């Protein structure tokens, strides 16, 4: 989660809407906890408890892969520009 929070801080500073970005992140986290609990309950009803944990691990690995693929950018120039000013350049 720290990597996602770092991306949220960068995006919030970029668009001057830190509160909105953090609110959306908190809402997504809450919805994920709700959906995860419901999905785990359905999986436990459909199969044994022993199968729920390995299935959850596979699902987390798939989501980690999606996160990496969707957030990886090959723009080296923009990364170099951020290093010069810093991600939290509040100078205005």
pLDDT tens digits for range 4-49:
778 888 888 888 888 888 888 889 989 999 998 898 888 888 887 7
pLDDT number for residue 76: 53
Task: Tell whether the torsion through CA atoms of 6, 15, 67 and 80 is positive or negative.
Answer: negative
What is the tens place of the pLDDT at every residue in 42-69?
Answer: 888 888 778 878 888 898 999 999 989 9
64 vs 46: CA distance, rounded Å: 25
Domain extent listing, the chain: 2-84
CB 5 within 8 A of CB 25: yes
70 vs 63: CA distance, rounded Å: 10
């Amino acid at each position: 989660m720290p990597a996602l929070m770092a991306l949220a801080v960068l995006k919030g500073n970029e668009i001057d809407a830190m509160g909105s970005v953090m609110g959306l992140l908190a809402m997504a986290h809450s919805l994920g906890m709700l959906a995860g609990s419901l999905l785990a309950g359905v999986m436990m009803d459909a199969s044994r408890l022993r199968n729920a944990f390995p299935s959850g691990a596979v699902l987390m690995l798939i989501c980690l892969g999606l996160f990496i693929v969707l957030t990886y950018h090959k723009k080296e120039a923009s990364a170099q520009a951020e290093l010069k000013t810093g991600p939290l350049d509040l100078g205005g």
